[in-house]
Chain A
Amino acid sequence: MWTQIFEDAFFSAIAAIGFAAISTPPRNCFAVCALIAATGHSLRFWLMDAQFGAGMHIVPATFAASFVIGCLSVFFSPMTKAPAETCLFPSLLPMIPGIYAYKTFGAMVKFVLSSNSMQSDYYFSQLSSNGFTCMFILICMALGSTLPVFLFGRIAFSATRRKFL
């Protein structure tokens, strides 16, 4: 279990650093992005694990992990002297439901191309199941991560101040 959690944390940290590089953050934010992404993603992994974790569904687990990522980004921002979004957005990216989106797209194409009603029913159920899961994961990610920025606005919006209050 611990090996899996560490593996998950390690790869999500690398993913966060790599995707952060595209949006050019300040140099001192890379390590913080990695730390926050590793914490958030491994928390979601633990929450979803049925055997040793909480056995939660991916949607509420994503919300909880995103909220933690949001809080950590806000509380680390005075240390990095960068806006909270600098570490928040790249840290969230490893949680993007890429495979769900791909399956949704695949089911949509197969649904359109299907020749009989049994096939089309099957692909439509695949399309709606994957599509809704993907959509709710995205909403939870966005909502969970941006809430702390507004809840702790005083910290989030004065992090770049030289004399932080």
Chain B
Amino acid sequence: MRTTSTFKEHTAFIGTYAAALLGCGATCVRLEKNIGRIASAYGIEVEMTIMPRHIHLFMRDKSSGTSESAVIEPRKMPISFRCNTLLSRLSWEIADGQIEFSGAGAALQRAVSQPPRSKELVTFMVCCASASFCRLFGGDLAAMGVLMLSTCAGFMLRCHLLERKVDIRAVMFLCALVSSVLGATDMLFSIGSTPEIALGTSVLYLVPGIPFLNAFSDVINRHYICAFSRFMDAVVLTCCLSAGLCTGLLVMNAGMFR
């Protein structure tokens, strides 16, 4: 294996892989297993410290004893299970010797540069999900309709602002504000019989559920620092969306401010 590529190339590849996997929202345990698998296939021993904003990798060549240390920043990208799947698959292909080192680099690039899904389709799916969520909590048809509209406006604004690289906390606040103001119309115009449900569920599509669940998974695997960081990130985002909801209700004189 080492005849076609050098130790440095392998460590650079492992670093890029780790940055991509952490960036796409993988849990710490998956990161450890996948990187360990690749390193082992290339005859490298690896020790890693996974921190919230960087990964510290210490790699040692088993045959020559050469070592290298790298501090890598996670790749900035939205949570993507498709990327996570492709990267996990790649780690097995490397471990099972099904892919050459040059092919692995190309596969890594393909995994991280997957085109995003149609924005309109995703918006429509999220709107349907919000309306269904409202129904699960006992909302009527009017509340479901209002919620579809408020989610549509909020989600489109979210996509628009994120594309313009606006800070995620400000995005959360603004989207929650817009969604709650529109969600309050059910109460304001007495359209249906469950306006409280429409209000309560109007910002749920913004709840950072995956960071919360990742944090719990990291706790189980005793990655406490990373878990705490992910948890705090999720709490801050939840506070931002709560502030947006609160401002929206205050503006509309609805919900808890009525």
Instruction: Enumerate chain A residues within 8 angstroms of B53, measured Cβ to Cβ.
Output: none
Q: Cβ of A162 and Cβ of B130 under 8 Å apart?
A: no
Residues of A within 8 A of B (CB): 7-8, 11-12, 14-19, 21-26, 29, 41, 81-83, 85-86, 88-89, 92-94, 96, 98-99, 102-103, 105-106, 109-110, 138-139, 141-143, 145-147, 149-150, 157-158, 160-163
B160 in contact (CB, < 8 A):
no
Nearest residue (CB) in B for A142 is B216
Q: Which B71-97 residues sit within 8 Å CB-CB of chain A?
A: 78-85, 88-89, 91-93, 96
Q: Cβ of B209 and Cβ of A24 under 8 Å apart?
A: no
Q: A17-B125, A41-B136, A94-B136 are in contact. Are A83 and B88 (CB under 8 A)?
A: yes
A118, chain B: closest CB distance, angstroms: 18
Q: Cβ of A18 and Cβ of B130 under 8 Å apart?
A: yes
B111, chain A: closest CB distance, angstroms: 12
B113, chain A: closest CB distance, angstroms: 13
Nearest residue (CB) in A for B197 is A99
Q: B186-219 toward A: CB 8 Å interface, digit per residue (1/0)?
A: 0000000000010111001101011011001100
Count chain B CB atoms within 10 A of each CB in A24, A26, A150 and give the residue with the most.
Answer: A24
Q: A29-B81, A102-B200, A103-B200 are in contact. Are A89 and B98 (CB under 8 A)?
A: no
Q: Cβ of A22 and Cβ of B88 under 8 Å apart?
A: no
Task: Tell which of B88, B116, B122, B199 touches A102, judged by Cβ atoms closer than 8 Å.
Answer: B199
Instruction: Enumerate chain A residues within 8 angstroms of B80, measured Cβ to Cβ.
Output: 23-24
B132 in contact (CB, < 8 A):
yes
B237, chain A: closest CB distance, angstroms: 13
Q: A21-B126, A110-B256 are in contact. Are A82 and B136 (CB under 8 A)?
A: no
Size bracket of the B interface: 35 or more
Q: A15-B129, A161-B92 are in contact. Are A92 and B213 (CB under 8 A)?
A: yes
B250, chain A: closest CB distance, angstroms: 9
A90, chain B: closest CB distance, angstroms: 8
Instruction: Enumerate chain B residues within 8 angstroms of A83, measured Cβ to Cβ.
Output: 26, 30, 81, 84-85, 88
B62 in contact (CB, < 8 A):
no
- Number of A-B pairs whose CB atoms are under 8 Å? 158
Q: Which B8-30 residues sit within 8 Å CB-CB of chain A?
A: 25-27, 29-30
A31, chain B: closest CB distance, angstroms: 13
Instruction: Enumerate chain B residues within 8 angstroms of A161, measured Cβ to Cβ.
Output: 89, 92, 96
B165 in contact (CB, < 8 A):
no
Q: Cβ of A98 and Cβ of B200 under 8 Å apart?
A: yes
Q: A156 to B209, alpha carbons, bound, how many Å?
A: 21
B14, chain A: closest CB distance, angstroms: 18
A56, chain B: closest CB distance, angstroms: 18
Instruction: Enumerate chain B residues within 8 angstroms of A103, measured Cβ to Cβ.
Output: 200
B61, chain A: closest CB distance, angstroms: 26
Task: Tell which of A17, A81, A85, A99 touches B200, judged by Cβ atoms closer than 8 Å.
Answer: A99
Task: Tell which of A18, A89, A106, A145 touches B125, judged by Cβ atoms closer than 8 Å.
Answer: A18
